[in-house]
Amino acid sequence: MHVRRHAVTLAFALLLAAVAPRLYAQATRVAVVDLQRALTETEDGRRAKARLKRTFEARQRTLDAKQRELKALQEEIEAQQKVLSPEALQKRVEAFQKAYMELQSTYMEYQRELASKEAELTQPILRRMQEIVQRIGQSEGYTLILERNESGVIWVPANLDLTDMVIQQYNASSSEGSSRRGRRSSKRR
């Protein structure tokens, strides 16, 4: 009785050992995608980057002008410090310090504004890219797709990098969408 039970258990174990590798032998496919590179190389990403650059340059011009005014005020204080009364000098130094603090505050405000604007412009693009990556993963049978910069990937063969495919599909879907919008607006006319 015990021998028969051991024989059945042994037969089951051998059967499982023969079948299990086939069950788990389904190809585990892993790939990477560089979303930052894709963001900078898609048409929408380039437009977003150009808008951010224009906003940054405008803010930088404002900061530069305020900085020049501050430098002129500092030079004026240094040039007149020997001829001004201590009270007048103190008022000028206080005005300089106030202007300096305002410049720092403006700088911080611009930094927050630019970060917010960047998120506003890039989040929709990244969401669409994630949808494209998911479609590629499902259609190509990938088990796992990692973000190259955030997953600690140091090296990967080029054939496992899906970034170019994501860029191409993103730009293709953008041009299809814009051509459909163009056809709709031309039909309305």
List the pLDDT tens digit at each of the 189 positions of the chain: 555 655 556 555 555 556 555 555 567 889 999 999 999 999 999 999 999 999 999 999 999 999 999 999 999 999 998 898 999 999 999 999 999 999 999 999 999 999 999 999 999 999 999 999 999 999 999 999 999 988 888 888 999 999 999 999 999 998 776 554 444 444 444
CA 24 and chain centroid, separation? 36
Contact (Cβ atoms closer than 8 angstroms) between residue 33 and residue 164 = no
| Residue owning tokens 């990403």 | 45
Question: Could you write out the DSSP letters of every residue in 4-62?
Answer: HHHHHHHHHHHHHHHHHHHHHTS---EEEE-HHHHHHHSHHHHHHHHHHHHHHHHHHHH
pLDDT at residue 181 in the model? 47
Whether the pTM exceeds 0.75: the reply is no
In order of 47, 53, 103, 141, the CA distances from 65 in angstroms are 27, 18, 10, 56
Measured distance CA(46)–CA(142) in Å, rounded: 29
pLDDT at residue 185 in the model? 45
Q: Kindly report the number of other CB atoms within 10 A of residue 146's CB atom.
A: 15
pLDDT at residue 6 in the model? 53
Measured distance CA(157)–CA(153) in Å, rounded: 11
Q: Kindly report the number of other CB atoms within 10 A of residue 31's CB atom.
A: 21
